A and B are shown apart, each in its own frame.
Chain A
Amino acid sequence: MYTLSNKLKITAIVCMVLGLIGIAMGFLNAPSTVEEAAAIVKEASAHHGGGHAEAEEAHVMKMDHHEGEVAHHAEDEHNAESTHHAEAGHDEHAEHVFHQLQNRPWSAVLIAGFFFFMLSLGTLVFYAVQRVAQAGWSPVLFRVMEAITSYLVPGGIILFVFFVLTISHMNHLYLWMEPGITDHDTILAGKSGYLNSPFFIIRAAIFIAGWIGYRFISRKYSLAQDEATDDSNYKKNFKISVFFLLFFFVSESMMAWDWFMSLEPHWYSTLFAWYVFATMFVSAITVIAMSTVYLKSKGLLEFVNDSHLHDLAKFMFGLSIFWTYLWFGQFMLQWYANIPEESGYFLPRIEHYNPIFFGMVAINFLFPFLILMNSDFKRKPWFIFLAGTFILIGHYMDLFQIVMPSTVGEHWSFGAPEIGSILFFLGLFLITVTSAFAKTKVWLPKRDPFIEESKHFHY
C-alpha cells in the first residue's frame, strides 16, 4: 500500500502556493492601461540594446500590419476596411500590444493547465486502447493508469472555469471573441457559425464531461471486475472503451480546433488536431512510465518487471517519432507551398520563437531517438526517467509555441507567470495523483481475464 509521505505533500503544497504567487505576480505586472503597455515595451527594448525602442515599435507595427493585410487580402483586395485599418494603425497597434501583454499570464495558465490535463487525458486514451486491444502485458498497470486519470476532474474543472472567464471577456486570447470583430473582419464573420462563445463553451462542457464520464464508468467496471464471478464487467468495460475511443477521436479533433487552432483564427491546418493528439499521447505514456518506475521503487507493483518498462519505453520511443512525423508533415507542407494565409502562422514562430520552435524538435525527437534506441537502455529506470523528463519538457515547449505566438506575440518571456503556472499545476497534479495512489489498496486487477498473462509477461 502506498502512503502519501508528508514530504511529498508539503512539496506539492509549496509548489502550488509558489505557483499561485507567480500567477498573481503575472496578473499584477500585466498592464492595465494602454500607456502602461507602451511603457513596458519601451523599457523592455531599452533593456536589450537601448534606444531601439522606436525602431522596434515600428517594426512591430509593420509585422502586425502584414498579418492583418494577409487576412484582408484573402477576403477582398479592394476591401475598404483595409485602408481604414492602415489609417487607424497607431492606436490599434498600441491597443494590440496592450492586449498581448495582458494575455501573458492567461496564456501561461492555459499552457500549464492544459499540459497537466492532457497528461491524464492521454493516459485515459492509452488505458482505453489497452482494453480494446485486449493487451496481455498491460493489465498490471491498469491501476496506475486509473490513478493518473484522477486528475481529469480538478484539471477539467479548472480548464472549464478558465474558458468561462475567457468567454466573459476577461482576456483577449481569442481574437474572434472580441466584441464587434465580425463587423469588420469578414473572414471571422464567415466562421461565426462555429466560432461563437456559447457554442464554444457548450462544446467544451460536452468534451470534458464525456471524458470524465468514461473515466468514472470504466473505473467502476474495472473495480467491480475484481469482485465479480464472471467476465460481464470486463465485457461492459470493453464495449464502453470502444465507444469512448470513437467519441474521443471526434471530440479531440474539435477540442484542438477550439482551444488551440482558433487562437490564430485566420489560420487553418487539417492535420492540426492529430498533431495535438500526438503531443498528448506521447507525454501521457511518459507519465505512465515514470509513475510505474516511481511506484516500483516504493516496492509496490510486485508483478511489474523490466519487460513492462521496456514496452512503455518503446511506446515513448515510437510515439516520439510519430509526433515528429506529424510535426514535420504539417510544417513542411506549409513551408513548401508557402501560401500566405498559412505561412503567416510559422513566420512569427520562426522569427521570434526560434530556439523554442526548433529546440523542441531536438528534445522531442533527437534525444529520445538516440537514447531510447537501445533495448537495454529501455529497461533501465533511470534512463526512462531521464528520457521522460526531456520528453515532458519538450512537449511543454510544444504547447508553448502553439499558444504564445498567437496570444502574446513577440512580447514573450519565460518568467513568473509561466513558472508559477507550471508549479501550481504540477503541485495540483502531484497531490491529486499521489492521493489516488494512496487510495489504491490493491494494485493488481485480480480478475482481469488477461491478468495472468500480464503477470507472467516477459519480453
Chain B
Amino acid sequence: MKVLVPVKRVVDYNVKVRVKSDQSGVDIANVKMSMNPFDEIAVEEATRLKEKGAATEVVAVSCGVAQCQETLRTAMAIGADRGALVQTDAELQPLAVAKLLKALVDKEQPQLVILGKQAIDDDANQTGQMLAALLGWPQATFASKLEVSGDSATVTREVDGGLETITLKLPAIVTTDLRLNEPRYVTLPNIMKAKKKQLDNYTPADLGVDVAPRLKTLKVTEPPARSAGVMVPDVATLVEKLKNEAKVI
C-alpha cells in the first residue's frame, strides 16, 4: 500500500507573528519556518505504518515556494521514501491545494492519504475534507488512532464530547489530531540520507490545475487588545473585585 502525505511549510509555532502596518497581511519575512505540526504527526503515522509492514511506500508532497523543498527533506528524514513539490509563488488557498493534491493522487494512486487536520497559519481545517470530496473517497478527520487491515481502515476520531470510531473503505483520507502520535526527532544520519532521496518537481500548469484564489483578503488587523489587568494581593481581594468591580459572580 502506498501512502501519500501532504506537508505544509508554515511559520514556526513558537513565533509570535506581527501584523504588517499596511494591513496587507502578517509579516513573515525573516521569521523561522517549519513543517506544520499536524503534518509532522501525519508523516510519523505513515512511517509507522511502513515500519509495521502495512505500507510499502511513503510519498511526501508539498505545494508552494521553492523553499518547501526543505520541508520535504524533513519529511524524508522522518521516514518518507521520496518527495514531490508543486512549485509556485502564487497564493494557494485550500481548494486550490486540494485540486493539486487530487492531480498528484491520480498520478501516484495511493491507497491512503494522511494530512494534518489544519495548518497553524490559515487555521482553515479544509484541505483533507476537500480532497476527499474531489476524489469521492471516504474521510476520517481529527484521528487519534488509526488501524489499517486489508481494504479498510478503522479510525478513532476526537469529537465534541469524546471519541468516536468509524471504519472507512480504502482508498481513504485521514487527517491527524494532536494525540495520534509523538513525532520522532530527526537524526543527523537520516538528514544526510534524506538529501539523496528522489524529489520530483511539478508546476500547477503541469498538473492542469487553476490555482487562482477564490477569496480576496481585504485586510489583516491586530485582534482587539485586552486592557491591562491588575494584580491582587490575596484571595479576599480577588473575590471582592469579582463581586463588586467585575460583577461576574
Q: Do A and B bind each other?
A: no
Residues on A lying within 8 angstroms of B by beta carbon are: none
